[in-house]
């Protein structure tokens, strides 16, 4: 698995300010892939695939793993935006869309497309930010609350099941934001690693200890949200 690109996303170092997001995302996708194991092989579409960092999690259960990206990308088989995917209706069993919705022009059209290309009973696995600093790829437009993201998914698309869950809690979000500025202040040098590691540990420990910090309640800050949507 280490040889496939994106190892730092599958197994992010705790010394990185993106650890809070990528660690939870990696664990969640591994659990999703485990859940699919034992069933029939699945056709997977990875939308906004980048380097397809999560391909290794699905490699042994996928009959096909197709990447699509909006920019020229040597790892993407298809070129196109999430708002107009160049694939047939209901043609994939699993559709990944990780850390893409915040970058696309029209999130409502994107969700309709994710729904259109997923077969009934298949699953869309999407993730996107609650709070995060500006990070264009190639643009950066949107952030959501858990309520807003649920509304985005239910407006204009029908699902038989929909779960929108915080990926981590308020302690983790605060740690991530502080860690981001520590990295900036220390010019992303190795000097940033110990304080970032400590902040990540502290944020996680706080969330673990105080249940309310893990809940999306008034006053909460959620770094990232995970969506399982079943047509």
Under DSSP, is residue 124 helix (H, G, I), strand (E, B) or coil?
A: strand
Helix or strand holding residue 139 (H, E): none
Under DSSP, is residue 67 helix (H, G, I), strand (E, B) or coil?
A: strand
Cβ-Cβ contacts under 8 Å for 9 (sequence gap 6 or more): 22, 25, 26, 51, 53, 54
Judged by beta carbon, residue 81 or residue 231, the one nearer ligand SAM is: 81
Helix, strand, coil % over all residues of the chain, rounded to 5: 40, 20, 40
Interface with ligand SAM (CB under 6 A), residue from 69, 113, 183, 207: 69
Enumerate residues 39-68 that contact ligand SAM by CB under 6 A.
47-50, 53
Judged by beta carbon, residue 82 or residue 222, the one nearer ligand SAM is: 82
Interface with ligand SAM (CB under 6 A), residue from 20, 29, 94, 100: 100
Judged by beta carbon, residue 15 or residue 73, the one nearer ligand SAM is: 73
Q: Which stretch binds ligand SAM (CB under 6 A): 30-38, 95-103, 190-198, 207-215?
A: 95-103
Q: Give the tokens for residue 163.
A: 């779960």
Q: How far is the CB of 217 from ligand SAM (least distance, A)?
A: 28
Helix or strand holding residue 109 (H, E): helix 107-117
Backbone angles phi, psi at 104, to 5 degrees: -95, 155
By CB under 6 A, is residue 101 in contact with ligand SAM? no
By CB under 6 A, is residue 157 in contact with ligand SAM? no
Q: How far is the CB of 206 from ligand SAM (least distance, A)?
A: 26
CB 126 within 8 A of CB 45: no
Judged by beta carbon, residue 7 or residue 162, the one nearer ligand SAM is: 7
Interface with ligand SAM (CB under 6 A), residue from 17, 29, 55, 81: 81
Q: How far is the CB of 70 from ligand SAM (least distance, A)?
A: 4
By CB under 6 A, is residue 132 in contact with ligand SAM? no
Under DSSP, is residue 217 helix (H, G, I), strand (E, B) or coil?
A: coil
Judged by beta carbon, residue 118 or residue 220, the one nearer ligand SAM is: 118
Interface with ligand SAM (CB under 6 A), residue from 33, 66, 82, 168: 82
Cβ-Cβ contacts under 8 Å for 140 (sequence gap 6 or more): 102, 103, 134
In angstroms, rounded to a whole number, what is the distance separating the alpha carbons of residues 89 and 87? 7
Which residues sit at the interface with ligand SAM, rule CB under 6 A? Answer: 9, 47-50, 53, 69-71, 81-82, 98-100, 103-104, 137
């Amino acid at each position: 698995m280490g040889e496939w690109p994106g190892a730092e996303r599958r197994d992010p170092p705790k010394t990185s300010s993106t650890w809070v997001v990528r660690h939870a995302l990696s664990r969640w996708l591994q659990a999703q892939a485990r859940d699919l194991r034992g069933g029939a092989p699945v056709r997977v579409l990875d939308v906004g695939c980048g380097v397809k960092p999560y391909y290794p999690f699905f490699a042994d259960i996928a009959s096909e793993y197709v990447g699509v990206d909006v920019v020229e990308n040597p790892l993407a088989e298809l070129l196109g935006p999430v708002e107009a995917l160049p694939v047939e209706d209901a043609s994939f069993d699993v559709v990944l869309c990780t850390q893409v919705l915040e970058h696309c022009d029209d999130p409502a059209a994107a969700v309709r497309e994710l729904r259109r290309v997923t077969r009934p009973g298949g699953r869309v696995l999407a993730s996107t930010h609650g709070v995060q600093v500006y990070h264009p790829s190639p643009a950066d437009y949107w952030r959501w609350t858990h309520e807003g993201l649920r509304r985005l998914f239910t407006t204009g698309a029908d699902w038989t099941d929909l779960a929108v869950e915080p990926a981590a809690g308020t302690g983790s979000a605060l740690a991530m934001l502080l860690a981001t500025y520590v990295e900036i202040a220390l010019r992303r040098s190795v000097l940033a690693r110990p304080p970032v590691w400590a902040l990540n540990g502290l944020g996680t420990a706080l969330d673990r200890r105080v249940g309310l910090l893990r809940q999306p309640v008034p006053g909460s800050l959620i770094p990232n949200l995970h969506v399982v949507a079943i047509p």
